[in-house]
Chain A
């Protein structure tokens, strides 16, 4: 027993160690230059990601409060990789910022929260992880203190996240009243589908809907994404959303298994609404960050189709899609963030003739958008393909047809941006931007991920071999 908790919680301990190193630097010396701190953080996060791949064990701790298995380890590694890419991309934004260390301390605290949330085997642990992953995020959404939009976005974020966790908690309290336990393994034996349970479950799913921004609960998303700094936006849209999706799948597939028919119907309605409204609103956006916000809402709709499959393929395809989504969305956000940090421009109109002076960035943005749209050679196609296959396993072809039609609609607005970059004439396009080394590395990782993840079939096979069966 003695050293069990050191080995099983290895990934959490490593992130906590990084937080402490940064704190010591913060207390110890003010002499460090920003470049040096940023490079140090990037190296530490790379070490964290690489060490996360090895020496992982399976087991439970603290009376089933904490559990870990190969699938959870893989999910945590995806999140670590995404955080590393974001840290590389944040370089050009944070280089001249006064409070670099605070940013990373808050960011990594949320990562620890997500790790605990994914590993939770108990509703209390899950709730604590969820809050640890959302409260510091509100603080860093306001990280550009003097910007009006930034503080407005942070306010909207903290209120909607507090409200959503209130809904979630009310659901949890009713479930506790009905079953008398908070442990996941015991909960699934007690649920039988009486009306109060359904009510609790609806509150539960409303809380989750806020976190993953499914449609009736998506209203905060676009505002927060536009107002927050780009690095925080990409963290919110990829890492935070991905972590909640992982937990969502595992809770639906294990705890709420007895009421699978109910949640299938709820997911059916939610995913149709999410896809349609996300797509329609994305069409009319002018600001690229807002555009990517609505596109990420539409992507969640497709993910919900995959989850509704309720099978081993469902679990595997969601993890696989989130891996691809990390690469493609971070590629797009990387370019947008770089352009916003270096030239201050964020509108689609500003990107006209972007190709003329910045061919490299244009190609990265185009490949990422193709992957988000799901065009075959890129990984995005395979991700969406597996999601739809998993959804089709339920035999509801209406849902699959709607999803397929929505993919065509989404092509329209992704291609609109690509048309602006490559074809539209512009008298004074954005001048040539000098890309620092670390964002360049991040973009390279993203493009490599987009191209290779789809073609190397054993990535999916590996994830499938880990996935929980339903």
Chain B
């Protein structure tokens, strides 16, 4: 019940015109995903999981781009191209991050962030 109320408010207040109804669901999904990623980033203690949380944030951005492109601006492909570039760069970022984590594991023998806390204040 609460959800439907929220959805009705959102689709009335968002400035997206006709397509608002279907788009609202997708925006709801992507925003939720964004905040789940943010929550995971701040609460998780395992470095790989933190990395996965960041990937969630980037994927929520991809959903946004594709949805906006399909429902609001179907004539041009800006949003879809942007999401392709985001996926590519996320892969590069993950590669470098995992290389750093492997190197950190060699010296710390752990990938828990609590163990990597020499630098403080």
Whether B81 and A124, one on each chain, are in contact in the complex, defined by CB atoms closer than 8 angstroms, is yes
Check if B97 sits within 8 Å of A162, measured CB to CB. Answer: yes
Q: Return the chain A residue nearest B103 by Cβ.
A: A151
Determine which residue in B54, B60, B99 has the highest number of CB atoms from chain A within 10 A of its CB, and name it.
Answer: B54
Interface residues on A, range: 35 or more
**Complex interface: chain B residues within 8 A of A227 (CB):** 119
State how many angstroms separate the Cβ of B78 from the closest Cβ of chain A. Answer: 5
The residue from B34, B41, B89, B107 contacting A131, defined by CB atoms under 8 A apart: B89
List the count of A-B residue pairs having beta carbons below 8 Å apart. 126
> A169 CA to B57 CA in the complex, in Å?
9
In-complex Cβ contact of B116 among A136, A145, A155, A178 (8 A) = A155
Alpha-carbon gap, A154 to B100, bound state (A)? 7
B119 touches A153 (CB 8 A): yes
Residues A173 and B116 in contact, CB atoms below 8 Å apart: no
Closest to A124 in B: B82
| A residues less than 8 Å from B57 (CB atoms) | 163, 166-167, 169-170
| Contact (Cβ within 8 A) A159 B78 | no
Instruction: For A197, give the chain B residue with the smallest CB separation.
Output: B15
Tell me the chain A residues, 158-208 only, with Cβ under 8 Å from chain B.
158-159, 162-163, 166-167, 169-170, 172-174, 176-178, 180-182, 194, 196
Q: Which residue of A lies closest to B79 (CB)?
A: A176
List the A side residues contacting B64 at CB < 8 Å: 170, 173-174, 176-177
Residue A135 at the B interface, CB < 8 A?
yes
**Which residues from B are CB-within-8-Å of A222?**
119
Instruction: Indicate if A146 sits at the interface (CB-CB under 8 A).
Output: yes
- Asked whether B36 is an interface residue with its Cβ less than 8 Å from the other chain, the reply is no
Residues of A within 8 A of B119 (CB): 149, 152-153, 156, 222-223, 226-227
Q: A163: which B residues are within 8 A, CB to CB?
A: 41, 54, 57
Closest to A128 in B: B85
Inter-chain pairs besides A139-B100, A142-B103, 18 sampled, C-beta below 8 Å: A128-B89, A131-B92, A146-B107, A152-B119, A154-B104, A155-B97, A155-B101, A155-B104, A162-B54, A162-B58, A163-B57, A166-B57, A169-B58, A170-B57, A170-B60, A176-B65, A177-B72, A182-B78
